[in-house]
């Protein structure tokens, strides 16, 4: 394109980056991204690609680069990053990102809470999961999905009695199953 005097737009680059990531060629997509000023789509696509490939180093590198670039994060990207950070065991980064959401004018949604609860439970960090669950109950207490994540995580960590209490709480709120 450039040989013919046509400069590709960010949309063109993001389309190529997305195609490479979907083909399992995220490192190639990353190389393409290094030649452009990326946007939220660029970085979230690369983050998703590295997460699918379970490439912890790639995840942390993308996080560093987009912070360096000052790209504004949206709630979808924030949720993706939380999931990716859990995958690499970066619990302090997860907590800092969650607490920093207010500074970014982002409000945690049910996906955020489910991702946090699930990540902490899968890492056997039940105290942190319960802390997040308590915060969830104060804000979005109508999401059955978050209750399900908490109940599942508690059961998988051998805390069936606590899971039963959460189930009873959910039943008392009048949710249909």
pLDDT digits (tens, 9 = 90+) for 113-129: 999 999 999 999 999 99
- Confirm if 54 and 87 have CB atoms less than 8 A apart: yes
The structural domains of the chain, with segments of one domain joined by +, span 1-97, 108-177
Identical fold between 1-97 and 108-177? yes
For the segment(s) 108-177, the CATH number from 1.10.3470, 2.160.20, 3.40.50, 1.25.40 is 1.25.40
DSSP letters for 87-133:
HTT-HHHHHHHHHHTGGGT----HHHHHHHHHHHHHTT-HHHHHHHH
Task: From 104, 176, 164, 101, select the one nearest 132 (Cα to Cα).
Answer: 101
Burial 108-147, CB ≥16 within 10 A → b, else e:
bbbbbbbbbbbbbbebebbebbbebbeebbeebeebeebb
Q: Give the pTM.
A: 0.84
pLDDT tens, the chain, 177 aa long? 556 667 889 999 999 999 999 999 999 999 999 989 999 999 999 999 999 999 989 998 998 998 899 888 889 989 999 999 999 999 999 999 999 998 889 999 999 999 999 999 999 999 999 999 999 998 877 789 999 999 999 999 999 999 999 999 888 887 765
For the stretch 24-37, pLDDT in tens is: 999 999 999 998 99
Structural fold of domain 1-97: 1.25.40
Q: Give the contacts of 104 (CB within 8 A, at least 6 positions apart).
A: 72, 73, 78
């Amino acid at each position: 394109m450039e040989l013919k005097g046509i400069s590709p737009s960010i949309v063109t680059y993001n389309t190529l980056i997305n195609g490479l990531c979907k083909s399992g060629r995220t490192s190639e997509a990353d190389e393409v991204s290094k030649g452009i000023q990326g946007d939220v789509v660029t970085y979230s696509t690369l983050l998703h690609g590295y997460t699918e490939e379970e490439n912890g180093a790639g995840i942390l590198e993308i996080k560093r680069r987009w912070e360096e670039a000052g790209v504004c994060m949206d709630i979808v990207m924030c949720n993706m990053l939380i999931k990716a950070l859990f995958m690499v065991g970066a619990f302090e980064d997860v907590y800092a990102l969650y607490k920093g959401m207010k500074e970014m004018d982002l409000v945690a949604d049910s996906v955020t809470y489910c991702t946090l609860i699930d990540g902490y439970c899968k890492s056997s960090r039940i105290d942190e999961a319960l802390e997040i669950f308590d915060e969830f109950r104060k804000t979005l207490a109508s999401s059955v999905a978050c209750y399900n994540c908490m109940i599942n995580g508690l059961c998988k960590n051998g805390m069936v009695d606590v899971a039963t209490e959460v189930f009873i709480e959910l039943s008392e709120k009048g949710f249909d199953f």
